[in-house]
Amino acid sequence: MEACSGAHYWGRRCVELGLQPRLMAAQFVKPFRKSARNKNDRNDAEAIATAARQGNMRFVPLKSIDQQVRLSWHRVREGYKVEGLAIGNRIRGLLAEFGVVIAPSDAALRRWLADLDGVSLPVELIELIRGLSEHRDAVRKRMDDCDRRIEAHSWLDERCVRVRSLIGIGPLTADAVVATIGAAKEFKNGRQLSAWLGLVPTQYSSGGHIRLGGISCRGDAYLRTLLIQGARSSLQRAKAVSVEKATPEQLWIRSLVARLPFGKLIVAIASKHARQLWVMLAHEVDYDAHAKYRHPLRRTETAA
């Protein structure tokens, strides 16, 4: 079946009945539909049956109930974040109609709302703004509750604790990665995980001529966003640490700063983090900042 809403539930029901479910991404099924203009259940079912018989078809791993519950906290948190931002913009828009312009920062808005009683504005407008402020505070409190629950999940899971040792990977990213990809053994290597996250360049090659474009931005946008934000943190840490105390990865990041633009640099760090996460999850090993010095190829080059 296609990996759509409810597919993981029905996949688990199939397992209970002794069947072996196969979940496929919709983008892999679409090329096998006979008519691109006529989409119906019959054509979709035929396309799914045809796609499932392909020898090189990639399937989506079945998520457990625990994984889906943990990811639900992330989805709800993202909803609260969007809602809180919308309320803040709504307050700014209403006040701008009365000549009150607030700086575009959350701290500036909080300071202004804290002194709401001393503002010379119509009483009805003050009541409206106060109601919006209370609603915004309630949404932020709900978001903080989600943060605490997600962090608790990350401390209780040994895999999350392991990946959090990587600079740039916090409790939010660690829990999201583990809840989404689990043991990561469905991916052959780290590069395949990086490609699944959309952190590799698109390719349009023909006749032996290789043409690479921008990053594909395919796959899980939420995980990709978290890794990009973590790459920013890792970059700041690499710039701040001294050369004598820097790890090999930080030295590598510092070497990229001089020859890559900011956007490519951040994506390169995020892609490297994705590959490191795959190694730690698939092989159940801890992060070793100096592992490159013990690699067999490294020892051979040093000896030569």
Domain ranges within the chain, ordered by starting residue: 7-52, 65-156, 184-297
Is pLDDT of 303 > 60?
no
Residue recorded with tokens 């409810």: 6
181-210 tens-digit pLDDT: 988 888 889 999 999 899 988 888 888 888
Residues 6+ apart with CB under 8 A from 57: 24, 28, 51
Band of residue 272 on the pLDDT scale cut at 50, 70, 90:
very high
Single-letter amino acid, residue 218: R
pLDDT computed for residue 212 by the predictor? 83
Is pLDDT of 240 > 80?
yes
Average pLDDT for 127-132: 94
> Does 13 or 26 have the greater pLDDT score?
13
Is pLDDT of 22 > 60?
yes
> Does 299 or 155 have the greater pLDDT score?
155
* Contact yes or no for 74/175 (Cβ under 8 A): yes
Nearest to 166 by CA among 229, 221, 230: 230
Share of the chain above pLDDT 90, in %: 62
Tokens found for residue 3: 């990996």
Query: Whole-prediction pTM value?
Result: 0.86
Residues 6+ apart with CB under 8 A from 138: none
pLDDT computed for residue 298 by the predictor? 61
Single-letter amino acid, residue 230: G
Average pLDDT for 229-242: 94
3-state SS, residue 59: coil
pLDDT computed for residue 25 by the predictor? 87
Band of residue 89 on the pLDDT scale cut at 50, 70, 90:
very high
Range of weakest confidence among 140-154, 159-173, 204-218: 204-218
Nearest to 232 by CA among 191, 259, 263: 263
211-221 tens-digit pLDDT: 888 888 888 89
14/9 Cα distance (integer angstroms): 9
87/95 Cα distance (integer angstroms): 12
Q: What letter does residue 241 receive in the DSSP assignment?
A: S
Residues in the chain: 304
> Does 17 or 202 have the greater pLDDT score?
17
Is pLDDT of 293 > 80?
no
3-state SS, residue 214: strand
pLDDT computed for residue 289 by the predictor? 82
pLDDT computed for residue 155 by the predictor? 93
Average pLDDT over all residues of the chain: 90
* Contact yes or no for 215/202 (Cβ under 8 A): yes
